[in-house]
Amino acid sequence: MSSPNQTAQPAAGGNPFLQSYQAWAVRTPAVTRYSTIVLTIVYILTWFFSLEDLFANVPYYTLFYFEVYRLVLSPLVGNSLLTLILVYLVYPSLGVKMETSMGSAAFLYLIVFFTLAVNISFLLVCLLFVMFQQYSSLGWVSMDFWTLLFALITLDCMQMPDMPRRLMFIPVDISSKYIPLVLYFILCLFSGFVLSYALSLAVGYLWMRGTLDYFRPSSQFLERQESEGGWLHRPSRMSGWVLAGSLGHDAWIPVNTVDPSDHGSSAHGGQPQGGTFFGGAGVVPVATPVSTGALPSREEIAARRLAALEAQQRNFGNMASAPPLPSDHNHNNV
């Protein structure tokens, strides 16, 4: 005779796919979570509808029919199954790191700004070709998620540009500042030259060089948008939203430095940073997601940031008080 506990055991186990999704949703911040879900839903819809004709950034329709919504929605369409798999290998881990460390509002702003900057640049280049009687450029297309993802990857890699990393199957260390270029070259081997990808790289590098600082929002501005009466007040109350005020006014700086001679080991147990594609050391997030599956609270984020800054100050103090190293052991490590 079976006991009531044995009868209820299968129901208690539940659907493993649902449980996996729920665990992923709990540990993934709001913007990264919802953007990934929307990207998946749009891809499924493309099985039944030709959404590329409606949302892809085609200069002829964007300019002459004033369909400006294409400037924002084009990364959602045009993703093949292989493209989507590559995006899943990179974007969720990269998004978690960036959004948790800079805040959901700042990360959402980056997504929108990079998408607009790439697509507007794409239109300007096409118009430049029109000036030289190349009217076929009005039919060029800018779409799929890599038009945004290349800018985000560049932003992440340029946080510590000289840090060596491993890229997929390449068995040598590559400086972080060259990782986006190498990845772009690899993708071009399969798809040929893609103008929108190249423009996305350019936008990412220009952002990190400070050329686009005029468009960089302050944390005070983002806090006002999340407060009562702001545009992001209601979204900021959703589960997993990382508030800008909980991170301080200089979030997402490399507070944890890593010695390049460690060949990819970090101060956190030697774990490589940067997700599936990018081995080696990267920028350790200011507020590292906890391993319990729940997002840290504001107090935890502030406490971790304060502890990291105090540890860095102690390290600098120890370096200043330590005797100089012999010349044959000085590797000019930062």
Burial bucket for residue 15 (CB in 10 Å: 0-12, 13-18, 19+)? exposed
* pTM for the predicted model, two decimal places: 0.73
Residues 6+ apart with CB under 8 A from 235: 30, 104, 241
Mean pLDDT, rounded, of the chain: 78
- Bridge-partner residues for 279, per DSSP? 166
**CA–CA separation, 243 and 300 (whole Å):** 12
Arithmetic mean of pLDDT, 243-267 = 47
Q: Is the dihedral of CA 295, 300, 301, 307 positive or negative?
A: negative
Residue 191: which pLDDT band, with cuts at 50, 70 and 90? confident
The arrangement of strands across the sheet holding 174-175 comes to 174-175, 164-167, 278-280
User: Which pLDDT belongs to residue 313?
Assistant: 57
Arithmetic mean of pLDDT, 116-134 = 96
Arithmetic mean of pLDDT, 62-79 = 95
